[in-house]
Structure 1
């Protein structure tokens, strides 16, 4: 895995081989500068919150620091190694720890509107995904959105391929089939051949406020049905995550709810029990070894974007990414995103954008660097018209741009 672009300079390659904002390029790369966030005293890393599980024989360990996004596909969790150690810790009792079983029957009833009540309502729809690929495998999470078996998870949970085993909250299992995925958004849909399944309602991420209570449900380290709580720490946080040729650009919900390896693909729900995000990535201290855990910096994909992507995947097996039709100067220190090239015949060309124009806002949202422009544009859909605030030769103006669908393979 590679270090998250939002936290330090790096070179990343888009999932579709295209520049994420505009034109298709052969082997195109995007260099993402350090954003204007205040630096922390530790080396920042964003990682997929995957739990890489042991195989029947021996787990394949992978090196490298970086993104540990939350769900479980080995091909995308190179930086999430922790291997058999993490798996053993999740499955075994800690040394010296004694767990006493109670013989008394539980009669507790969750108060209406409490976190306990929300958890009880959501948990039946949350699943664990065990993805196998030869000698290696991984564990992630997902949630059921239709009673006939459609499940939402992360692309990095399913991306490496292999058999998908879905475990439900009642312990029953089913074989899952990958319906489709969009690596650029880190979203995938899996289908199981079952009916009458419990589902979880989908909310609206646009209604979120910083400070709102949120609840994460999933299978961190293989511990199915784990519930953690926190608040919305920030909104529209530019996050890039990915590896091995697949990069996701996320206009993320940041939360301090504990998200750990194995939580990837699980739901982040609001106080009403509606999904407002899909847990995808965590930031962790660089320890140099072992599998990182939560330090209160988790990131989820907003559900408003997820709904569009999943609907397209279910209908067609593919989904498209909106583009402006420009290449950006990724070495420009900002503020703003500087245009390096305008694609002939594209949306930006039609709107009159030129090389060296600096985009400072998209629909009123401040653009601090190229990454923030990419993730902001990707929060819209192809066909949407957005208003760009542009500076040219020291003069600011606004121009409407109608986004097109990327012609690159998603």
Structure 2
């Protein structure tokens, strides 16, 4: 009996030791040799970590390499297959001035790319190749994208093969002034440049333009378009065109071969001058969310809806608007004839109205709608030619001097003081007040860029628009 008890205790001891080792191996105590890594949650639950493998597998087969040839040499970029019968989205600047376009699929098949349509005002273009049953990227919803959300950028950077990089959404509704400074056809089309980029820190380099920005589910939320860099290579800031805007533009190309944008007919400060303008109106930036309307075009959708200068538009179709870039993008998603619901502030009270957007009449230029005297009244400025002696002193071939500035005019709103010397408007040299008239008439409702010399001798740039 005594021998049996000893045997029992011996077996029980080893069972306890075995159980102890089992639990010890399941939950090892952290030591200096075993660092604790917490991914996905503060509890250290590794089941919640971010996984890009599935998204990358879904997207990379549908992102293509684009090569172009032109008299200037040619270019490289990326594109996104959005329909299995060969429709491919890319940037306008990737294929601009191309004499031939070659599309290379990830499986190395090459096709001739046919240009369906392109829009300098949004930097989007649509190509078509003769192929079927192609893999596609599922379109997502850029309105649902959140700052801090993980994203994946896929493209062909620096002549490399398909490359995926990860990061987060850093901001939304960004306006960086790249479209109006690089595209001059916008003025010919008579529409304003639309910039409301998704900003990300996912690494994007030259060659990524036109590629895909997707969420962790592999859904397209943006078309990669630009980087902010002093060197030309990735420096932490990259920008993508929201897919909800791209959907509308690309559908227009498919149906009409061109963009058909509905116009509201309002003017407002450019994104770079919004805060300064609000301060001049006695409004503290940030205290009122919305877009301050500076002018209503006669006979426009806005005029018929009862909007007035001084109104602050806060919502479009129930969605809060925080900036003019976001406002422009949401209007640009609509076609002529579409009705939009607007909520706005007037005299501190919220009001609501509906506006039926109108088609832009390209057969009538700005001169027939607005006399030169009315234009100068809006600018709120007077000019005189720059004397030859000053041209020589400053080392310029042209220029006019701003002699007067009215506080409630465009120049006063964007902070152009008397004594400023205007040298260029939209890339054209300005030598006389007549040159200003010509440049503004050609620009129409497009974004207008003024390059000037400030009274202190520094070089400055100003951007504004007469409407959108």
Question: Secondary structure of the residue that 1:164 maps to in structure 2?
Answer: strand
| One of 160, 177, 198 as aligned partner of 1:253 | 198
| One of 385, 402, 405 as aligned partner of 2:356 | 402
Q: Per-residue displacement from partner, 1:261-304 (whole Å, max 9, x unpaired)?
A: 111110111111111111112222x3xxxx51222221111112
**Rg comparison, structure with higher value:** 2
Question: Secondary structure of the residue that 2:178 maps to in structure 1?
Answer: strand
| One of 212, 216, 226 as aligned partner of 1:267 | 212
| One of 341, 349, 362 as aligned partner of 2:303 | 349
- Counterparts of 1:391 and 1:328 in 2: how far apart (Å)? 15
Q: Is 1:200 the counterpart of 2:137 in the alignment?
A: yes
Question: Secondary structure of the residue that 1:124 maps to in structure 2?
Answer: helix
Normalization by structure 1: what TM-score?
A: 0.64
Contact 2:125 2:250 in 1 (8 A): yes
- Counterparts of 1:117 and 1:367 in 2: how far apart (Å)? 34
Alignment CA distance shift 1:293-1:365 (3 Å) = farther
Question: Secondary structure of the residue that 1:119 maps to in structure 2?
Answer: helix
- Counterparts of 2:269 and 2:240 in 1: how far apart (Å)? 27
Question: Secondary structure of the residue that 1:156 maps to in structure 2?
Answer: helix
| One of 320, 344, 352 as aligned partner of 1:389 | 344
1:170 matched to which residue of 2? 107
CA RMSD of aligned residues (A): 2.7
| One of 244, 247, 270 as aligned partner of 1:307 | 247
1:159 matched to which residue of 2? 96
Contact 1:239 1:249 in 2 (8 A): no
1:12 matched to which residue of 2? none
Question: Secondary structure of the residue that 1:323 maps to in structure 2?
Answer: coil
Contact 1:145 1:201 in 2 (8 A): yes
Unaligned runs of 5+ in 1: 1-111
Contact 1:202 1:303 in 2 (8 A): yes
Alignment CA distance shift 1:145-1:131 (3 Å) = same
Q: What does 1:5-20 align with in structure 2 at a 5 Å threshold?
A: none
1:292 matched to which residue of 2? 232
1:139 matched to which residue of 2? 76
Contact 2:68 2:98 in 1 (8 A): yes
Q: Is 1:279 the counterpart of 2:224 in the alignment?
A: yes
- Counterparts of 1:281 and 1:322 in 2: how far apart (Å)? 26
1:223 matched to which residue of 2? 160
Q: Per-residue displacement from partner, 1:356-398 (whole Å, max 9, x unpaired)?
A: 4444554453444x54542343345541413141345x66544
- Counterparts of 2:167 and 2:155 in 1: how far apart (Å)? 15
| One of 160, 165, 188 as aligned partner of 2:125 | 188
- Counterparts of 1:391 and 1:115 in 2: how far apart (Å)? 48
- Counterparts of 2:59 and 2:239 in 1: how far apart (Å)? 20
Q: Per-residue displacement from partner, 1:120-162 (whole Å, max 9, x unpaired)?
A: 2211111011111113211110011122211111111112232
Question: Secondary structure of the residue that 2:136 maps to in structure 1?
Answer: coil
Alignment CA distance shift 1:113-1:168 (3 Å) = farther
**Post-superposition shift, 1:180?**
0.6
RCO (CA 8 Å, sep 6+): is it higher in 1 or 2? Answer: 1
Contact 1:305 1:380 in 2 (8 A): no
- Counterparts of 1:211 and 1:272 in 2: how far apart (Å)? 15
Matched residue pairs, number? 292
Contact 1:359 1:391 in 2 (8 A): no
Contact 1:386 1:402 in 2 (8 A): no
Unaligned runs of 5+ in 2: 1-48, 187-192, 279-284, 364-445, 447-468
- Counterparts of 1:123 and 1:145 in 2: how far apart (Å)? 13
Contact 1:180 1:313 in 2 (8 A): yes
Normalization by structure 2: what TM-score?
A: 0.57
Q: Per-residue displacement from partner, 1:21-68 (whole Å, max 9, x unpaired)?
A: xxxxxxxxxxxxxxxxxxxxxxxxxxxxxxxxxxxxxxxxxxxxxxxx
Q: What does 1:19-38 align with in structure 2 at a 5 Å threshold?
A: none
Q: Per-residue displacement from partner, 1:58-85 (whole Å, max 9, x unpaired)?
A: xxxxxxxxxxxxxxxxxxxxxxxxxxxx
Contact 1:251 1:376 in 2 (8 A): no
Structure number with higher helix proportion: 2
Q: Is 1:365 the counterpart of 2:304 in the alignment?
A: no
- Counterparts of 1:142 and 1:245 in 2: how far apart (Å)? 23
